[in-house]
């Protein structure tokens, strides 16, 4: 397993989802490998404050998906997220 593959399997991204309800914000922590291709693209465009390491990881993940034809589709909510003891949801 490459260093990049390890990062993608072990790292999580905090998200409120595509269309967060401003009255009921619920932060979910989603494994990078489960983020949709479009979500990763949106992160690269909108989250200018991410570190160079995170940016490189997201860019490499998109390139790997493109080269292998892997498409992770968009979802409304990330499913099967067990509740974390700090009340954040972990996917």
Token readout for 15 is 């998200």
pLDDT tens for each residue of 7-43: 777 888 988 877 667 776 778 888 899 999 999 999 9
The C-alpha atoms of residue 56 and residue 82 are separated, in whole angstroms, by: 29
- pTM for the full predicted model: 0.78
How many CB atoms sit inside 10 A of residue 89's CB? Answer: 19
Tell which wins on pLDDT, 17 or 90: 17
């Amino acid at each position: 397993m490459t260093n990049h593959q390890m990062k993608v399997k072990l790292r999580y991204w905090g998200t409120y989802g595509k269309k967060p309800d401003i009255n009921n914000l619920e932060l979910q922590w989603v494994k990078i490998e489960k983020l949709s291709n479009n979500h990763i693209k949106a992160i690269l465009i909108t989250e200018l404050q991410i570190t160079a390491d995170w940016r490189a990881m997201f860019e490499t993940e998109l390139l790997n998906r493109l080269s292998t034809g892997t498409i992770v589709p968009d979802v409304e909510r990330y499913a099967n997220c067990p509740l974390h003891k700090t009340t954040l949801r972990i996917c």
